[in-house]
Chain A
Amino acid sequence: MTGTLIAQSLVNGVVLGMTYVLVALGFTLIFGIMRMVNFAHGEFYMLGAFVTFFAFAQFQIPFIVSLAIAAIIIGCFGMLIERVIFRPFRGNELNGMIAALGLAIIIQNAALIMWGADPKPMPSVATGILKLGPLIFPWSRLYVIGAAAVIIALFYVVITHTSLGRAMRAVAQDTEIALVQGIRAERIYPFAFGLSVALAALAGGLMGPVFGVSPTVGLAPMLKAFIVVIIGGLGSIPGALLGGLLLGIVESFASTFLGATVSDFLLLALVMLVLIFRPWGLMGVREA
């Protein structure tokens, strides 16, 4: 009985953790490259959930294709946003952050006007259960884990094995040296931003069937992404992976065995402990 509960919590934790990883990866990527805190990141998650919902539930397009459509549309939208709204605030961290807050207000309320406040139920992607002895896993959850793993692997390949990915990492490590090497940072930024928000959109689309789709779904995953990057280290991609999975599993176990209140307290305690003892995060680089 307890064994089943533990296995169940673990699967739920990994499902949560995978989404946190997807949201946090984009967030930490954009901070690493552009030194920008994107407070509208959660709104791109929400937009991704809506685009996936319309493609999958309204137009009956296969789920995987719907996800790809969401990633492409939101990615292009992100590139446009980067050029139009964020470019003037380059180098001004504080004003860029406040502008992102303004953008979050605009996107969220535009979604409210267009699609209404009522949550839209997204049909399940997969039905049935997987039985492994006494353990029972719903396919709908395992599906999220599989899809997220594939997306993270693709992201890893893009970052490590393409010239665009190498250029992004170079700019993140040292913008000036990257410029000297002939990398045009100004050209990299829109792609990095598009990639970042496309990841958020994918997370939103994947979690649509689990959490539902409404204009206000973006704030909660953004909060979790913040906690993940504080734990993992701001700007660190391995840190986002580790922090996301850790947070998902801790949260799942704590809310199953200790209740939601204790779980929330535990998250706060975790953040504070990391800030006291390892303020640069588990995988982050210590800044002088």
Chain B
Amino acid sequence: MSISQTTEVPNADHMPAATQGRHVWRNFIIVAVAVAVVPLITSSQYYLHVAILVLINSTFSTSLSIIARTGQLSLCHAGFASVGGYISALGAMRLGIPPVFGIFIGGAVAGLVALPLGWIILRLRGVYFVLVTFTFGQLLTLLALDLQSITEGANGLVGVPPLSIFGYAFVDRVPFYYLAAGFAGLVFLFTWRLLGAPAGRNFTCVEENLQLAESTGIDTRKTQVIAFVIGSFIAGMGGALMTHYIRYISPDSFTFWSSVAFITMMVVGGRWALAGPFIGALIITPLPELLRDTGGFQHIIYGAILILVLQFLPDGIASISQRVKAISRRRAQP
């Protein structure tokens, strides 16, 4: 008996808000405009750097939430980001593949690695997925250290070429910021469309009630594998983009703790809301910088926030507005 098999009453909050299309578009455009004016407000290179990290991290947490929609927690998300980063960097440095294509190749390789892995472990219910993705992620880090002739081992790959389109290299912060914003926007729109499509609706069904989903004819294993492959593909692309931005990758670039950070962003922001993972990245990414004066305590606060949010606000910050609405509705009734 595993917990994921317990029967639950479907929760309307967990359903993707795909029906509220106009709503999503309106909010998306408001956020997009806000994101677009950031470089006009500040010219600080440091703030722009943090903003770029927020945008790329939002793609990691959003893609992780695609996998989480099917009730699985991947602890190898940073591992796939690392795969994408290494593939794209090595392709550009050794084979001369332009990073524009390298990013897609990196994502594709991450997805191709996730496919057989998912196929093998998703036959097993629940917790094995977490155990195996953790193990696999750690072994990927070990391999990056071991295969010195290819990956330069612990030294990492130095001098990764920047991304360039039609001879224009994205080296400066501002152009790269807009590039990252474009990528984050595309990932968000893709996720929204995916979750609204019939295949995406199956994700939620599988998470809500595995047996019921199975008995209504949904191939639950296939659904989970699809979500895992898509999520890992996006993580690979995000990792490649990050690598061409930082222009360096080593086995320490994407570790187990990065995976934990992506999970924290997703949980704190809200797993079930479309915008939740973005909100999480927005709040969690600058946190270590804001708390720098606390002298090492920032990570402890980080862990405490994760536990407190899980306990008191399990659906994340994105659920606050719904809670407020529910309370005011209750008040309004006599």
Contact = CB atoms under 8 A, between A and B. Distances in A.
Interface of A: 31, 35, 37, 85, 88-89, 91-95, 97-99, 101-106, 108-110, 112-113, 219, 223, 226-227, 229-230, 234, 260-261, 264-265, 267-268, 271-272, 275-276, 279, 287
B310 A95 contact: yes
Given A101-B260, A110-B300, A226 B135 contact: yes
Nearest to A264: B142
Contacts of B132: 230, 271, 275
B131 A98 contact: no
A28 B266 CA distance: 28
Contacts of B126: 93
Contacts of A227: 135
B267 A287 contact: no
B310 A37 contact: no
A106 B303 contact: yes
Given A85-B307, A230-B131, 16 more contacts: A88-B311, A93-B4, A94-B3, A94-B71, A99-B311, A102-B303, A102-B307, A105-B260, A109-B297, A223-B134, A230-B128, A260-B146, A264-B139, A267-B139, A275-B121, A287-B125
B2 interface: yes
B135 A230 contact: yes
B310 A112 contact: no
A173 to B, nearest CB: 11
B272 to A, nearest CB: 13
Could you say which interface size class chain B belongs to?
35 or more
Contacts of A99: 306-307, 310-311
Contacts of B196: none
A264 B1 CA distance: 32
Interface in B290-313: 295-297, 299-300, 302-304, 306-307, 310-311
B296 A98 contact: no
Interface in B111-141: 120-121, 123-128, 130-132, 134-136, 138-139
Contact of B300 (A97, A98, A105): A105
